[in-house]
Amino acid sequence: MKQMKKQKEEIKAVIFDIGGVLELPRYYIRKGKHEFSGIHERIARTLNITSDQWFDAIDSLYGKAIVGDISRKNFIKGVSKRLSVYEKKLVSVIKYCYKKGMKRNNQLYGYIKKLKQKKVIIGVLSDQWHLSRESMFPEKDKRLFDVVIISYEVKTRKPHPDIYKLLLKKIHLKNPFIKPSQIIFIDDKNYNLEPAKKLGMKTILFKNNVQVMQEMGRLF
């Protein structure tokens, strides 16, 4: 007796990270075994200070900013005071460095527009603070997405399970019948994918556009 071929489960939602997925570093810095985009190093260099001085200045404030425990205004005020740099100059330098250090992933955005034509729910789940979000995810791009969860706006961040549960709740507001297994979450860090897997979502580790689109093609 012939074995019945298992039917592919219909994908109804695709969720993207921003930094490293929707926005790509223009260049990488290698340090030991790790690669990173060097935004903070670029900010320090542009301010004519050392990386250590920059990281000392943002210290706990940056962690608070990512989860919305400090306002945009108070973050800038605090760092400005620690570095003796005018607030307007600090904001200008930070935004300039994000613009120069990162680039919009236009190829992936083009693919997203095709997914929207298939009536797939498109979303964003990303750890960002005020100025990174303003620089990398402007309103014109935000309007393309049906579900948007930014860490500082919801007071929690990846990989805490709460942010993934919130994602499911927001998707269910759009379609209460979607199962976690019908959702794909794409991130460039494995540890951010694990909680999504535990909740039953399909996941893709972003390496490059070709690889992601091939993996998506196998799932659709």
Query: For 195-206, what is each residue's pLDDT tens digit?
Result: 999 999 999 999
pLDDT at 137 over 70: yes
Is residue 159 reached through a cis peptide bond, with omega within 30 degrees of 0 on the bond before it?
Answer: yes
Residue count (the chain): 220
Distance CA 167, CA 170 (A): 5
- Lookup result for tokens 């260099």: 45
Listed in order, strand segments (DSSP E) in the chain are 13-16, 23-25, 29-31, 34-36, 102-104, 121-126, 147-150, 183-187, 202-205
The pLDDT tens digits of the residues spanning 148-160 come to 999 999 999 999 9
Confidence of residue 146 (pLDDT cuts 50, 70, 90): very high
The pLDDT tens digits of the residues spanning 80-127 come to 999 999 999 999 999 999 999 999 999 999 999 999 999 999 999 999
Give the up-direction half-sphere exposure of residue 10: CA atoms within 13 A in the CB hemisphere: 7
Q: Tell me which amino acid residue 99 is.
A: K
CATH, domain range 13-22+105-219: 3.40.50.1000
Residue-averaged pLDDT of the chain: 92
Name the residue ranges covered by the structural domains of the chain: 13-22+105-219, 29-102
Model pTM?
0.91
Distance CA 15, CA 167 (A): 9
Confidence of residue 26 (pLDDT cuts 50, 70, 90): confident
Q: Phi first, then psi: give them for residue 150, nearest 5 degrees.
A: -115, 130
The pLDDT tens digits of the residues spanning 44-60 come to 999 999 999 999 999 99
- Give every CB contact of residue 194 below 8 A, 6+ residues apart in sequence: 159
Distance CA 94, CA 199 (A): 36
Distance CA 210, CA 35 (A): 20
**CA-based nearest residue to 37, from 50, 23, 52:** 23
Distance CA 18, CA 188 (A): 9
Distance of CA 79 to the CA centre of its chain: 24
